[in-house]
Amino acid sequence: MGALHEGHLSLVKRSKELCDITIVSIFINPTQFSPSEDLDQYPRDLQKDKTLLLNESVDFLFCPDADEIYPKNFQTYVNVEHVTKEMEGEFRPTHFRGVTTVVNILFNCVNPAYAFFGQKDAQQAAVIKQMVNDLKIPVSIIVCPIIRESDGLAMSSRNIYLSETERREAVVLYKALQMAKKMINKREKKVSFIIAEMISMINEVNLAAVDYIKIVEAGSFDIVDVLEKGSEYYILIACKIGATRLIDNELIKVVR
């Protein structure tokens, strides 16, 4: 959705490694914002975005207007069921319908062989994979690692909203994820205990307000209560720092 940073550019770099032609779409999608969310305030700097993409030797920029994607009398939406119900789907009930609809439209416009998404929006990537599988869309979904600032904060276009104090305190999300990872590496398997410790750490930051912390099976995105050896999981956080809502996650494998 624009306001590009190194996280987005890492997707471009991966595309250029695998593909003959790299196309970047920039479209701030109105259907994935609820009336109370930040559509009008969402950061926009298309000229800067173009410069960054030229520096990466991107072949094409696809930057449609809203009325090209959603013409008058638009009526058709794509809805993925199970994997959209929890986490972001609970707090943003109309969000994923907008995501899957616009991604399906963009796929139909471009017909890519590969599409690259960031792990930071891990549930979004899972929803898109489900849609592609269910609707037999001939595209391979590549999920690329989270790119972080030097102190661990996951890069996000919304980080620009943070004040200097909020920016410092936002690192608590990364610290909580790393604490959970250490607990799991020390053979802690009880999810409720891990989450309670994470919430306790985050609550020490006065400006933080947790929306959710969940641990889900990486393939199905089913919420779990107990971790099993040999399985992969996402630890997922959504938290407001001041007025800015941030998400982050860690992908872990239980090895013992």
Q: What is the tens place of the pLDDT at every residue in 203-230?
A: 999 999 999 999 999 999 999 999 999 9
pLDDT for 233 equals 98
Q: Is 152 contained in some domain?
A: no
Q: For residue range 34-53, list pLDDT tens digits in order.
A: 988 889 989 999 999 999 99
Residue 129 and residue 187 in one domain: no
Take residue 145 and report the two structure tokens written for it.
């690692």
Mean pLDDT of the chain: 97
Claim to verify: residue 243 and residue 168 sit in the same structural domain: yes
Segments forming the whole domain that contains residue 206 = 157-253
3-state SS, 139-200, equals CEEEEECCCECCCCCECCHHHHHCCHHHHHHCCHHHHHHHHHHHHHHCCCCEHHHHHHHHHH
Query: Quick one: 167 and 78 in the same domain?
Result: no
CATH of the domain at 172: 3.30.1300.10
User: Are residues 116 and 178 located together in one domain of the fold?
Assistant: no
The residues, ordered by sequence, that sit 6+ positions from 102 with a Cβ below 8 Å of its Cβ are 27, 29, 31, 32, 69
Which residues does 20 contact at the CB level (< 8 Å), separation at least 6?
none
Residues 5, 8, 82, 95: which is the catalytic one? 8
pTM exceeds cut of 0.75: yes
Q: pLDDT at position 38, please?
A: 82
Q: Is 5 a catalytic residue?
A: no
Q: Are residues 76 and 47 in the same domain?
A: yes
Residue with the larger pLDDT of the pair 37 and 80: 80
> Do 67 and 173 belong together in one domain?
no
